[in-house]
Structure 1
């Protein structure tokens, strides 16, 4: 049962169970879809100015939007898919007989947090999806996990507002930090204000602003972060 996107809460899309590995404990990963207007102007402009791909630039914008969302709500949800999805991860307690409540990837809360009407509306759908996704030895945790995930769920409007909050300067700075930390390929920050005041196109932008991916071929392309899925 997937909740309808009519009550201000994002629409539940899927829930997945993930086994423990060297990097992560046993957990569930829940995705919610956001229905919003496209609003891709920032992605288009930044991609053009950086001579990069919408994959890399889109990941930068999603990361910045996630920071804004977490600062505004205190939740741990992540924004992805160009603002059209929200992801929440909750850790499963070890052992089939464990009684401790699972923890969402966030600082421990000292007092219970009541669900908002939007969160309460989607909780039954989360529990049903988790019941189907969890192995038999973990199904008893579905209800508690559903509550933990629901507590971290922002509203659709909060996600949309956070996605539209990053500025062009923020995107360029974060892109440089991730893919050009040595400052060898992107235009120095001191020159960007002047450069950005002129119209840019793929043929008119200064060559100095192009990262190695555009100038030197695949051998010098920035490494794509495995944590960003599109």
Structure 2
């Protein structure tokens, strides 16, 4: 096949195919006596595999996987696949933890009223005031300051986030993991709007998992077609 023949089947340009070869996504092409590239079924399967891997692993990781295979580093390629699956599992566990934490919040904690100082909030959560200050430093909470006394004042949203952080900490999550989750709650405008977001999040994870299966099937086909001296 010529570059244009391979490109047309995937809606690409000839230059894109040449770029993929230069990046190591495709194995090196043979050349005619006049220097023109000649692609084979192997190159077609490599491109099909790359396209199939992207939805589940992302462009960068898909590139790294194909490059490793084409360089004969099969263990490295499979390790990259494993890392994507590990990340997907972590994302599923994070989603489950957020759902459990949200469901564990009492209605008054989901939509608390009024403002609180550090002492009363700490007593409500049964933690030390120093813990709340630590959460603030980690970016979990953003209390205001009383103009007269300089004391921390927690708004209704801060109280909600403190309760949610407490639930997640009890679930074993680190502060660095909790901060972006609370940012999502704030961006969604609270807990209730986030419920729909969580459903969409789970749908995306499911799609990613299915995409990984599709990519794995194409990768397995490519490995079976690949020269045995390099792929096994």
Normalised TM-score (structure 2):
0.26
* TM-score when normalising by structure 1: 0.26
Which of structures 1 and 2 has the bigger CA Rg? 2
